[in-house]
């Protein structure tokens, strides 16, 4: 009899009690808006920003309504205008090209490597061939490229880097936290990311001018002095006259829920990584299945795992997905012709100029993806990997 996994791949843990109590306090006080404070009070949102800046090591942090908003806000702060080309990963999720399109920019997609990071040779070529002045770098599924080399390529050509850290909050490259290499970094606190406020996000930066612009953009009106992890008032003097208000603030209720989660993040990362390593170990030496090597320079947050079935046909992959699904293991495939749920491909974003990325096509054709929520135990992770191993082997042998 085949074993079946009973857990839910979309079920996150409850909000910690401390977060629930803090949220109740905010609701009882009625001051949910971040600038609604009584004398001497510091808003939850301002405190959270201070704590997030300290956690990442950034000088400045700004709480926002979503990760997608944070990316768009960074692009605006950097002065991306309608018609500007913006370099970005061919392998990413829809809110990334979406944020570029939202400011009228034109996404220019860069190929992915078999390590699932941005192809730095292709990036260097596009940097030389296009007049793009911004790279929106998605650390897609938590895979971090050689950040020193990437910054060399971009700095050398005056290309500013915005890091999309939706999947790398808590990750690092050679000990430098993800988000600390580029001019600005965006994070998401949407339910499926590393902290959960339903919707939410952050921007961080060390650049006072960029952060002053981002704060005004986010809808601070002239109340920016109520921020704590923010540049000094001088930074706003010019900026406040020329920066539009594009409201996308975080509120105190979300911030209250997030503060205890941020304090707990290092422990949660260890738990994610135990799940990740358990699945990875369970899948090693499965015929036809390639594990993605994680370089020693990378500190990972294993909230999801990816594997390649490089030689499987689409039919075989379909069979693996179906057989695993029947046994309760929900896998996503990045090679499907049609976008499904959260998963889509660069060629399904038809508002962008059509581009051909042969390496990305080849790699995504064999790419499987699986979430690892913290409601799973290490035992669950072992069972899941056993099921995948059995079904992949069965389909490989049947051909």
Residues in touch with ligand PLP (CB under 6 A): 66-68, 92-93, 95-96, 138, 140, 164, 166-167, 188, 190, 201
Gap between the Cα atoms of 171 and 252, Å rounded:
26
For ligand PLP, the closer CB: 370 or 383 = 370
- Exposure of 364 in the CB half-sphere (CA atoms within 13 A): 24
Reported as type and span, the H/E element at residue 324 is: helix 314-326
Minimal distance in Å, beta carbon 164 to ligand PLP? 5
DSSP 8-state code for residue 228: S
**What residues pair up with 107 in beta bridges, in sequence order?**
86
Could you tell me the smallest distance in angstroms from the CB atom of residue 139 to ligand PLP?
A: 8
Instruction: State the nearest-atom distance from the C-beta of 99 to ligand PLP, in Å.
Output: 8
Tell me how many degrees the CA angle 345-346-347 measures, rounded to the nearest 5: 90
Residues 6+ apart with CB under 8 A from 328: 4, 5, 6, 7, 387
Of 190 and 218, nearer to ligand PLP (C-beta) is 190
Q: Smallest distance from the beta carbon of 196 to ligand PLP, in angstroms?
A: 11
CA atoms of 179 and 162, how far apart (whole Å): 8
In terms of Cα–Cα distance, which of 118, 108, 129, 175 is closest to 151? Answer: 118
Task: Between 177 and 201, name the residue whose CB sits nearer to ligand PLP.
Answer: 201
CB of 48 to ligand PLP, least distance (A): 16
Q: Which is nearer to ligand PLP, 117 or 316 (CB)?
A: 117
Closest approach, Cβ 65 to ligand PLP, in A, equals 8
Contacts of 376 (CB under 8 A, 6+ apart): 7, 275, 384
Residue written as tokens 């581009």?
Answer: 355
Report, in Å, the least distance between residue 195 CB and ligand PLP.
11
Nearer to ligand PLP, 201 or 302 (CB): 201
Euclidean distance between CA atoms 273 and 262, whole angstroms? 17
Nearer to ligand PLP, 70 or 320 (CB): 70
Give the nearer residue to ligand PLP in terms of CB position, either 88 or 252. Answer: 88
Kindly state the smallest distance separating residue 373's Cβ from ligand PLP, in Å: 15
Closest CB to ligand PLP belongs to which residue? 67
Q: Which is nearer to ligand PLP, 231 or 336 (CB)?
A: 336
Nearer to ligand PLP, 182 or 231 (CB): 182
What is d(CA 41, CA 220) in angstroms, rounded to the nearest whole number? Answer: 17
Q: What is each CA distance from 205 to 8, 147, 196, 282, 301, in whole angstroms?
A: 36, 17, 22, 39, 22
Q: E strands of the chain, at which residues? A: 60-64, 85-89, 106-110, 134-138, 160-164, 172-173, 176-177, 184-188, 201-205, 290-291, 298-299, 304-308, 332-333, 367-371
């Amino acid at each position: 009899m085949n074993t079946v996994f009973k857990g839910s791949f979309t079920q996150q843990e409850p909000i910690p009690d401390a977060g629930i109590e803090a949220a109740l306090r905010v609701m009882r006080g009625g001051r949910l808006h971040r600038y609604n404070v009584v004398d001497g009070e510091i808003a939850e949102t301002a405190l959270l920003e201070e704590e997030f800046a300290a956690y990442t090591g950034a000088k400045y942090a700004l709480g926002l309504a979503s990760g997608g908003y944070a990316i768009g806000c960074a692009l605006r702060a950097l002065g991306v205008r309608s018609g500007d080309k913006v370099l970005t990963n061919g392998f990413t999720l829809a809110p990334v090209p979406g944020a570029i399109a939202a400011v009228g920019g034109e996404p220019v997609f860069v190929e992915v490597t078999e390590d699932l990071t941005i192809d730095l040779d292709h990036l260097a070529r596009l940097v030389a061939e296009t007049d793009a002045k911004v790279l929106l770098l998605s650390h897609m599924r938590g895979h971090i490229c050689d950040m020193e080399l990437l910054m060399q390529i971009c700095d050398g050509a005056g290309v500013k880097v915005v890091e999309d850290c939706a999947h790398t909050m808590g990750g690092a490259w050679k000990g430098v936290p993800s988000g600390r290499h580029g001019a600005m970094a965006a994070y998401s606190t949407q339910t499926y990311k590393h902290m959960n406020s339903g919707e939410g996000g952050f921007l961080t930066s060390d650049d006072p001018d960029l952060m002053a612009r981002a704060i005004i953009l986010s809808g601070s009106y002239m109340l920016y002095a109520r921020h704590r992890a923010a540049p000094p008032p001088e930074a706003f003097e010019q900026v406040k006259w020329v920066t539009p208000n594009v409201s996308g603030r975080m509120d105190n209720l979300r911030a209250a829920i997030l503060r205890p989660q941020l304090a707990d993040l290092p422990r949660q990362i260890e738990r994610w990584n135990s799940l990740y390593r358990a699945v990875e170990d369970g899948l090693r030496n499965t015929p036809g299945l390639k594990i993605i090597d994680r370089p020693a320079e990378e500190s990972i947050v294993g909230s999801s795992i990816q594997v390649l079935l490089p030689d499987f046909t689409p039919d075989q992959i379909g069979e693996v997905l179906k057989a695993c699904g029947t046994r309760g293991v929900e896998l996503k495939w990045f090679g499907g012709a049609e976008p499904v749920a959260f998963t889509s491909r660069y060629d399904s974003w038809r508002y962008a100029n059509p581009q051909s990325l042969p390496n990305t096509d080849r790699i995504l054709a064999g790419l499987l993806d699986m979430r690892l929520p913290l409601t799973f135990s290490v035992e669950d992770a072992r069972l899941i990997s056993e099921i995948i191993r059995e079904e992949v082997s069965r389909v490989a042998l049947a051909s």
